Structure 1
Amino acid sequence: MSGSRVAAEKVGSRQRLQVKVNEYKENQNVAYASLRPVQTFLGKTAQVYLVPFSLSNYKPDQLKCPESLLDKNSNNEVACKKCKKAEVKETCRGILTPKMEATSSKAESTLQKSSSDVHTESNKRQNKSTSDTVILSADTESSQDGDSDEDTTSGLDDFSGLSPYERKRLKNISENANFFASLHLSESAARLREIVKKRQPTESKRKKPKKKENETGCRRSMRLLKVDPSGVPLPAAPSQPIVVADESQPLLPPGPLEMTPENQDDNSEPFKGFLQTWAELSKTSSKNRGKELSSIKSYKANLNGMFISEDTVCKVTRGSIFSVALHPSEVRTLVAAGAKSGQVGLWDLTHQPKEDGIYIFQPHSQPVSCLYFSPANPAHILSLSYDGTVRCGDFSRAVFEEVYRNEESSFSSFDFLAEDASTLIVGHWDGSMSLVDRRTPGTSYEKLINSSLSKIRTVHVHPVHRQYFITAGLRDVHIYDARCLNPSRSQPLISLTEHTKSLASAYFSPLTGNRLVTTCADCKLRIFDSSCISSQFPLLTTIRHNTITGRWLTRFQAVWDPKQEDCFIVGSMAYPRRVEIFHETGKQVHSFLGECLASVCSINAMHPTRYILAGGNSSGRMHVFMN
């Protein structure tokens, strides 16, 4: 019975709904249209129609139902109370799904803006009577249980109190919500985050190609394989090769060598006159060691009178100049230069044209690093070379005699222990020293001494106390006593350790030896007080000076002016090119400049009595300043 009663109630509700719709259509007298076919449930069709609506003619009471309809539908209030939907908003929310509710607020704001725009347009078109018709066809879903029919009926009853605009808005909200829900955007975003976190940069390792067994290998030099072109292996190289001189310039034979110029004929009359002239000058050489020191004011005045010209610039040797010496003659000007190629060039500046006064000799096979005119006989010029030989050029006999020879070692510098030039102290590149006595008949007596230095660059003897001499090594300066030298290992009397980089030279002052100047690669020139040999030499002055010449230029060597005890000469890297003279206090005394000086003069020398300066560059060219 209960089932039949429920079915009867459902049929009655459907009939009442149809009656209300028919009455509403008769009262309005308008035509209706359905947008799409409606769905059927329980074998019958339910349709909802909307009235034409215009915002321009809108009145608040227009959508109110007639009283007749309200009276007839009073019986439906009980069904609405059962669903607990007293307000229209609650009824709409009951129809919406949870996902539709999430997007309803955004859609509502958008619809409100569109409604305001439509209302503005309607005000502008007040003369038009026609309006757009908004038709909504609401589809109802069938339900298998009995309660679904009641909910559908009650939902339709509640929609009867809404305007067509509100019904369309709710439909749009529901469609948008269903569309976004079907996209599953939140789930896709979560999956993407997980993928990004888990993904790590993969290192692509290149696979090495597999070598084929029968593949032909790369061609290799037979010299590197140590194989003869015929396929016979070459003999093994010696484990300890013998160190010899440069193969391109083999060692010259021992013994005296003839003084034969390379640039002129040795049998010519000018060359014979050249030898005779310098042989005679050696007999009239003067010594001005006892001359008083001139004042710095007069010294500057004499320096200002020195100049350079095209006639005092000439190429004397082939290759870089490693040493320079000036003949002490008061009458003629003779400049000597030792070159990297082993040449010794002599230039007589009083001879014109200047090319005819240049004579180039080849007494050595390697660089000539030290060159001096003998203090006892100026007709003798002594030269030392890297090839392990010391030779003496005798103008009177026109030969280069061999003073000392050691093919197992390389020489770096030498100086005279005695004023008569009978004994020499020779420095080796490996740190050892040799005492050479020239008074031994036939050959020189040699005494090899091991020093405390690993390398010796320059050797210089004290001008007054000639038993003392100084050596400049890598970073240390040592002072030795020639009377206390030990062949096994000699200890220095004094060591100067103020230098931070390698040294290029160290020289005593020329007259008294009370000052010592050093040239270091740390761009500093240092002057020490060497007046007391028995104690440590205090540092007096440090001068900042660019001494970085590079590999293509000869290293600077600061040397004293033989005429002026407290002034020394050094090359410069500054522009325009120049040669500078400094006082022992660090003040600059003079700079030699000129249009004809366009290169760096690394090695310089001053005449012992005259104001003549000779500077050599790295191309074999000599620059002479004279008054």
Structure 2
Amino acid sequence: MSGSGAAVEKAESRQRLQVNEYKENQNIDCISLRPVQTTLLGKTAKVYLVPFSLSNLDQFKCSKSLIGKNSNNEVACKKYKTKIKKTCGRILTPKMKATSSNADSTLQKSSLDVHTESNKPQHSNSDAVIIGVDMESSQDGDSDEDTTPGLDDFSGLSPYERKRLKNISENANFFASLQLSESAARLREMIKKRQPPESKRKKPKKTTNEIGCRRSMRLLNVDPSGVSLPATPTQPSLVADDETQPLLPPGPLEMAPKNRDDNKELFKGFLETWTAMSKTSSKNTEKGLSSIKSYKGNLNGMVLSEDTVQKVTKGPVFSLAIHPSETRTLVAAGAKFGQVGLWDLTQKPKEDAVYVFQPHSQSVSCLYFSPANPAHILSLSYDGTLRCGDFSRGIFEEVCRNEGSSFSSFDFLAEDASTLIVAHWDGNMSLVDRRTPGTSYEKLINSSLTKIRTIHVHPVHRQYFITAGLRDIHIYDARRLNARGSQPLISLTEHTKSIASAYFSPLTGNRVVTTCADCKLRIFDSSCISSQIPLLTTIRHNTITGRWLTRFQAVWDPKQEDCFMIGSMAYPRRVEIFHETGKRVHSFLGGECLASVCSINTVHPTRYIMAGGNSSGKIHVFMSEKNC
């Protein structure tokens, strides 16, 4: 019986070897945990299970060659089992769990296929198919049996299944010990219940006894002891604003100086001096042009001193004029607030030689001595009035008045100053005839411009005049003006920004110089008034004066009509003279005596005397030493 038992065990071992034998692919370096069905190009190994008995024991005897052939497969199988054990010892992730479940299903299917094939009575000595992990684990001699509580009911499972369930249970216990779900729930409740903190800042309580910031007692109108002072009566300001200053009454105004009230005899002598000087003055127009070399030499002899600098008006200078006298130096200045100041540089001391009048209520933008009678000075203002100051009678008579429009500039159409052309800020023009007894005749004409800044008459062909608008410059013929609307003969459209002035050359009118806010001075050839006037020269010059300085205006020198002068923003302060070709001829530098910008400048028609006015009402006169 013992021999038969040994034979039975030997047969079972042989049968177990036949069932589990397989041939591993020698080219695979590593074996995956997931069972993979492999299709062999050779013969397929099939396993048949038959009932065991002593009679057919010899059928299960394996030859020594078959056992030796499968010895290598057993070594590979042991390595594969070792890898499975190491993997099962780790904590399974959800992905590994899914993989192991797929492996279980594949193993079960493989086992089922083995039992199914056992019914087929076919035998084959070919290699066996790779059997699942469960059967390999059953051949493992290691004592890895699970003793985990709760797995006794699964005694029919393979050791691998028990090991896997043990790992799943340990992982679940580990994550349960971390209490992640409870922490997440508490965190969600904290987020829901948490509210943003209040950002309202509590205002400090005001204390009644708190000492405030210090303030000036003068502004509080109290004395040092804290007693309120009586209200002081407001005094009228010496400088009025253009918008608040009321219009002066129509008709003639008395020529009474505003800067002095006493010594009427001195003022009477001043008027007599101007009247007598105007009778003896003569305008030398027969003298030809001098060379540039001699002209520059004369300019170099003109100097500025403390005696030739004087504050004449109380506001910015908007216009200047020099009396054409050959014996005395008389300068007139038109200010922003309607004042006209007269300064006789020959009289000493210079403080007694200045007289200021108030013929207008707003800015005096244009000022000329009459070419027919230098004892008359004509002034035009923004308030819509044009007045003539007569020194012989001591009055400012009214030449033209238009309260509904503001005047900007004027010029004489006739050499005897009998007819004038007046420009309005709204683009209209007025023809004024002073020959009408008692009053002047005015004819309103509409132009093609929306605004006119300056107007100037041709010195030779006096029927032509030029106007400077916002962007364009027009030349008109006075014989073709129409009250409903006048079209210009020529339009100059080369300017890109606001235009400040445009003037003909003083003797021939063959050149036109313009001043524009694009920092360019332009000279045009106006020798032939045709449909087109060519541009000759463009000079780069800084013309940006800002809001506090009077705008620059380039004006010709009557003694040298191919040269003009203009103020400068450069340091040190200066007044520059340019030739029509664009070359700088001379710069008037006054050193310490010239510390401001002279925006408005004018030149004596025959003598080498130049006057410049700044935005504080001060006049600077450059003159040769022999004339001082």
- Pick the TM interval, shorter chain: 0.5 to 0.7
- Residue 579 of structure 1 corresponds to which residue in structure 2? 575
TM-aligned CA distance change 1:440 to 1:153, over 3 Å: closer
Distance of aligned partners of 1:89 and 1:148 in 2 relative to their CA distance in 1, 3 Å threshold: farther
- 2:443 and 2:314 mapped to 1: Cα distance? 34
1:575-622 Cα offsets, whole Å, 9 max, x none, are 111111111011111111122111111110011111111111111111
C-alpha contact (below 8 Å) 1:507/1:559 kept by paired residues: yes
Indicate the residue corresponding to 1:111 in structure 2: none
Question: 1: distance between equivalents of 2:583 and 2:343?
Answer: 33
Give the equivalent residue in structure 1 for 2:527. 531
Measured after TM superposition, the shift of residue 311 of structure 1 is 1.3
Which of 543, 550, 553 is equivalent to 1:557?
A: 553
Aligned to 2:268: 272
Contact map agreement 1:347 1:359 (CA 8 A) in 2: yes
Per the alignment, residue 393 of structure 2 pairs with 397
8 Å Cα contact 1:85-1:91 kept in structure 2: no
Q: Select the residue among 331, 340, 345 that pairs with 1:344.
A: 340
* One-letter amino acid matched to 2:342: L
In the TM superposition, residue 85 of structure 1 has moved relative to its aligned partner by 9.6
8 Å CA contact 1:260–1:266 kept in 2: the answer is: no
SS at structure 1 position matched to 2:155:
helix
Taking a change above 3 Å as real, the CA distance of residues 320 and 97 of structure 1, as seen in their structure-2 partners, is closer
The alpha-carbon distance between structure 1 residues 409 and 99, as it changes in their structure 2 partners (threshold 3 A), is closer
Query: Which position in structure 1 is the counterpart of 2:206?
Result: none
C-alpha distance in 1, partners of 2:609/2:525? Answer: 28
Which of the residues 499, 502, 510 maps onto 1:503?
499
Return 137-146 or 550-559, whichever deviates more. 137-146
Aligned to 1:490: 486
Number of equivalenced pairs: 445
Which letter does structure 1 place at the counterpart of 2:607? R
Task: Give the one of 401, 404, 412 matched to 1:416.
Answer: 412
How far has the Cα of 1:142 moved from its partner? 3.5
Shift of 1:424: 0.6
Q: For 1:366 and 1:623, how far apart are their aligned partners in 2? A: 23
TM-score (norm 1): 0.66
Local SS of the residue matching 2:351? helix
CA distance in 1, matches of 2:317, 2:578: 23
Tell me the secondary structure at the aligned position of residue 296 of structure 2. helix
The match for 2:403 among 403, 407, 413 is 407
2:593 alignment partner, one of 576, 579, 596: 596
Tell me the CA shift for residue 488 of structure 1.
1.2
CA offsets 1:488-546 (integer angstroms, 9 cap, x no match): 11111111111111211100000100000011111111100000013411000111111
Give unmatched runs, 5+ long, in structure 2.
Answer: 1-73, 98-143, 188-240
Contact conserved, 1:142 with 1:149, CA < 8 A, in 2? no
Structure 2 counterpart of 1:141: 148
Q: CA deviation at 1:485?
A: 1.2
List aligned pairs for 1:14-93, cutoff 5 A.
Answer: 90-91=84-85, 93=87
State the distance in 2 between where 1:561 and 1:308 align: 18
Distance 1:145 1:321, change over 3 A: same
Counterpart in the other structure of 2:608? 611
Question: For residues 119-158 of structure 1, what are the structure 2 equivalents within 5 Å?
Answer: 140-143=147-150, 145=152, 148=155
What is the CA deviation profile of residues 164-194 of structure 1, one whole-angstrom value per residue up to 9, with x for unaligned ones? xxxxxxx999979974797699xx99xx9xx
Deviation at 1:285, TM superposition (A): 1.0
Alignment correspondent of 1:319: 315
Amino acid at match of 2:604: H
The amino acid of 2:424's aligned partner reads: H
Q: 1:358 aligns with which of 348, 354, 370?
A: 354
1:624 maps to what in 2? 621
Aligned equivalent of 1:310, options 298, 306, 309 = 306
Equivalence for 2:509? 513
TM-score, normalised to structure 2, is 0.65
Cα displacement (A) at 1:428: 0.8
Tell me the CA shift for residue 476 of structure 1: 1.1
1:302 counterpart SS class: helix
Equivalents in 2 of 1:621, 1:309: separation in Å? 13
CA drift of 1:375 comes to 0.7
Counterpart for residue 198 of structure 1: none
Alpha-carbon deviation of 1:363?
0.6
Alignment partner, residue 121 of structure 2: none
Q: Which runs of 5+ in 1 are unaligned?
A: 1-79, 104-136, 157-170, 193-244
State the percentage of identical aligned residues.
79
| Counterpart AA for 2:561 | E
**8 Å Cα contact 1:252-1:364 kept in structure 2:** yes
The CA distance in 2 between the partners of 1:355 and 1:457, in whole Å, is 34
Aligned-pair Cα RMSD in Å: 3.5
The amino acid that maps onto 1:625 is F
The question of whether the paired residues in 2 share the 8 Å contact of 1:99 and 1:178 is answered with no
Deviations 1:334-389 (A, max 9, x none): 00000011000000111111111000000111110000001111111110111111
Q: Aligned in 2, Cα 1:140/1:292: closer, same or farther, shift over 3 Å?
A: same
Counterparts of 2:88 and 2:456, CA distance in 1: 115
Q: 1:448/1:175 Cα in 2 relative to 1: closer, same or farther (>3 Å)?
A: same
The 1:172/1:350 distance shift into structure 2, 3 A limit, reads farther
Alignment check: 8 A CA contact 2:250 2:398 kept: yes
| Structure 1 residue 144: Cα displacement | 5.3
2:444 is the counterpart of 1:448:
yes
The yes-or-no answer on 1:251 pairing with 2:258 is: no
Assess if the C-alpha contact under 8 Å between 2:88 and 2:167 holds in 1: no
Q: Quick one: which amino acid aligns to residue 377 of structure 1?
A: N
Give secondary structure in 2 for the equivalent of 1:554. Answer: coil
Deviation, structure 1 residue 102: 7.2
- In structure 2, relative to structure 1, the CA distance for the partners of 1:172 and 1:526 (3 Å cut) is same
Q: Secondary structure at the match of 2:569?
A: coil
Partners of 2:145 and 2:346 in 1: how far apart? 128
Partner of 1:469: 465
Counterpart of 2:302, as a letter, is: M
Could you tell me how far 1:149 is from its partner in structure 2?
A: 8.9
**C-alpha distance in 1, partners of 2:563/2:420?**
26
State the one-letter code of the partner of 1:141.
T
